[in-house]
Structure 1
C-alpha cells in the first residue's frame, strides 16, 4: 500500500529530462550552472587529504555549529545555543521532512500556502497528517483571512516560505504582525519557516523569523547552504528551533541520517570565514536585472522578483494553452525550459505563469532571452 499513491515523477525531473532530449536551455530546475567560488575549491582540495572522513557528531560538526551561531547573531541578532537549538541536516528538504514527521501525527492538520514547494505536502502525508492548502493573494502575499478560516482544533502547524519559491515574493513587516496575531490566538500551532533563500533578496530586505521574538519560540527555521553558497549538490542545510522542539527533532534525525557528510561540513565551516553573503545577493541581483532587461522586448509580462533566483512571467499574450502544455511547447519548439506555476497548487490553478531560474551564467541567460524574445 502506497503512502503517496498520487505522487509521480516531479515536474522538475520531467522538464529537465525533456530539456535534455531537445537540447534546450534549462532554466527550469533551481540549480546554478556556473562554477563555485575558487576559494571553496581550494579549501576542499586542501582538506580532502586530512583525516576528516569519519562520522561527525549527530548534531553536526562542532566548528560549523559555532560558525552558524555567529552568522545568526551577525545577521539577525539572535543568540542561539549550538548544543540545544541547532541541527545540521542533509539539505533543507531532509530538515523539513524530519521536522514534519517529528511534530505531526495521524489526523493533525498542516496549513500550506499555495503556490507551494512540492516537498511540503508529501512530508505531511507520510506523517499521517492532513495538508490544508490555502491560496495566496493574486500578488502572492499571504491572505490571513483565508489562513484563519482554515484553522481548526486539528491544526498543528503552518508552513511558510520566505523568500518564496516559486514566486520570489518577500513577506512584509505587516505580514509577520498578522501571523503573530493569529498564532497568539492558537497556541497549539507551531510554525515551520522555510528560509532557504534568506541571503538572496533585492529591493526589500528579507525579514527572518529569527528576528521575531514572538514567533521564534514556537518556530522551526530551515536554512540551506546549498542555496546560499550555490553548492546544491552538497545537500547541507540546518534547522534552528527552541530546545523543547529540537530535542524531539533530533530523536528522529538520528535514525534517518544520523550525521551529515563530513567533508562538506568541514569545508563550509572554514569557508564561512571568508564568504560575504551580501556579495552573493548582489551577484544574483545583477543576474536578475540582466535577465529582466533582456526580456523587455519579449511578449512575456515580467512579474516582480523580490528574492530567490527565480523569475515568474505571464505568457497570456502569447498563448491560451495551459501552462504545462505551453512549458512543454517552449522546450520542443523554442528551446527553453521553464516550470509551470500550476504544479505548485493543489487545484492546479493556471494563470498562464511560468517560472525561470536565473542562477545561470550570463551567456546562458542572454541566449535563453534571445529565444524567448523571438516568440
Structure 2
C-alpha cells in the first residue's frame, strides 16, 4: 500500500512515510493503540490546521494559520438564530436539508451565476463542505477506480478517495502561478479514472479558474466520461475576475458536484453548514450516503442561515475581503517577504526565500516559536512543496490582528 501510494504521489516510499508521520504527529505526539489491528488511514494522526491552531493558542501567537475569521458574523444572522431557537426548530429536519435553505442556495446561484439548480432534486445541505466532499466521493467512486486531484490540495481529498477504496492520482501545480497543465491532466487519465477533483478559488494559492480552464476541463470530462467534484467554498470571494462555477458549462452540468460552505459565506465556520449541488441522479446517490451518516444538519442553524441568505449578504464579500487582503499585503510592503496578491479566497501565499533556507515546516515552527506568528507551511497541502519556501497566511481577521502580524513580519 505504501509503495503504491508513494508512486501515486510521485514520491519514494520512505519519503512519503516520513512526511506523513511528521505531517500528522508533529503537534500531537500521538501513538497508535495496540487495540487497533488495521487502521483505514494508518499514518494520519490529525489535522495540520487544528494542530497549528492549538499550538498557536498554547504559545499565545497571532494565529493566521487556520482559515477562520476572528470577527463577529452579521448581526442579522445572530438575530435570526435567536428567533429560530425561540421557535419550533428543535427537531430532526429533512435529511436533504431545510427546504427553505435549499431554495435560498438555489437563488444565490441564480443571482450570481445565472444558473438555478432545482432545490428539491439538485441541492443538498450537509454538515460542512468537508462532509459534502466525503459523501460525493464515497457515493460515486468505487474500489480500485482512480481520482485525479491537483496539489497543493486541501487535506481531505486524498483520504476521502482512499476511504472509498480508490486510488488518488496527484497532478502537481507549479509555483508561483499554480496554473493547470491540462495536457498533463489528460496524460494521467487511464481506463480506471472516474473523477477529477478541482478547486477554485484554489486553496492555498488563491488562483481562480479562467474560461479556458473550464473549457479544457469540460473537454476532458466529456471525452473520457468523467465525473467532476468542484470545490467552490470560496466562490463568492473573488477579486480580479468573476468566478466561474462548474455547472455554468452545459457539458459539465450533468456530471459535476459543486461543493460550497455557508459557514465560509457567513463567517461562522463552526456552524458546519455546507451544501452539494448536482444533477438529480448524482444527488440521489449522495443523499443515500448522508442519510446513514449524520442524517441531517442542525435544524435551527439552517433556518437562521436561510433567512439571511435571502438578504443577499454574500454580494459584499469580495469588497470586504479585498480590503483585508490589501491591508495585509500593504503591511508586508517593506518586509523581506515576497508575494503576488492572491486572486481569490482569504489566503495569501508568502515567499520567505530571502530570509531563510529552512524547509517550510521548520520555518513555520521558527516563526511561531521565535516571533509569535502562526502560518501554515504549504507542504501541509503536499509534501513536494517543502522546499518551495512558501507559507500560507489567512487574512480573514480583524484589522488589529492583521496589523499585529504584519508589524512582527516587517521586522524579521
TM tier, shorter chain?
over 0.9
Instruction: Check conservation: 1:163, 1:170, Cα contact below 8 A.
Output: yes
1:304: how far off?
2.8
- Deviation at residue 106 of structure 1 after TM alignment: 0.9
Check the 8 A contact 1:303/1:314 in 2, yes or no.
no
**In 2, distance between residues paired with 1:181 and 1:346?**
30
Matched, 1:89 2:89: no
CA distance in 2, matches of 1:362, 1:194: 28
User: Is the 1:222–1:238 contact (alpha carbons within 8 Å) kept by the matching residues of 2?
Assistant: yes
Contact 1:141 1:171 in 2 (8 A): no
- Secondary structure of the 2:124 match is strand
Higher mean C-alpha deviation, range 339-348 or range 217-226: 339-348
For residues 194-273 of structure 1, the aligned pairs below 5 Å read: 194-273=231-310
Q: 1:105 aligns with which of 132, 142, 166?
A: 142
Q: How big is each residue's C-alpha offset from its partner over 1:190-235, in whole Å with a ceiling of 9 and x where there is no partner?
A: 0000000001011111111121111111000001101111110000
- 1:22 CA drift (Å): 1.5
Over the aligned positions, Cα root-mean-square deviation in angstroms equals 1.1
- Equivalent positions of 1:47-126 (< 5 A) are 47-126=84-163
Deviates more, 1:161-170 or 1:343-352: 343-352
Find the aligned partners of 2:78 and 2:116 in 1 and give their Cα distance: 31
Name the structure 2 match of 1:146. 184
Query: Secondary structure at the residue paired with 1:296?
Result: coil
The whole-number CA distance in structure 2 between the counterparts of 1:160 and 1:237 is: 17
Q: CA offsets per residue over residues 57-99 of structure 1, 9 Å max, x none?
A: 1111111111122111111111321111110000110010011
**CA distance in structure 2 between the aligned counterparts of 1:349 and 1:183, rounded to whole angstroms:** 31
**Counterpart of 1:177?**
215
Q: CA deviation at 1:251?
A: 0.9
Counterpart in 2 of 1:369?
Answer: 406
Give the deviation of 1:13 after TM superposition: 2.2
TM-score for the superposition, normalised by structure 1 = 0.98
Structure 1 match to 2:45: 8
Cα deviation for residue 349 of structure 1 reads: 4.5
Match of 1:157 in 2: 195
Structure 2 residue ranges without an equivalent (≥5)? 1-37
Residue ranges of structure 1 left out of the alignment (5+ in a row): none
Task: Count the aligned residue pairs.
Answer: 374
The aligned residue for residue 321 of structure 1 is 358
SS at match of 2:179: coil
* Residue aligning to 1:301: 338
> Are 1:137 and 1:143, in contact at CA under 8 Å, matched by a contact in 2?
no
Partner Cα distance (2:66, 2:399) in 1: 17
Q: What's the offset of the Cα at 1:348?
A: 4.5
1:239 CA displacement: 0.6
Contact 1:114–1:346 (8 Å) recurs in 2: no
- 2:108–2:312: 8 Å Cα contact kept in structure 1? no
Distance 1:304 1:150 in 2: 31
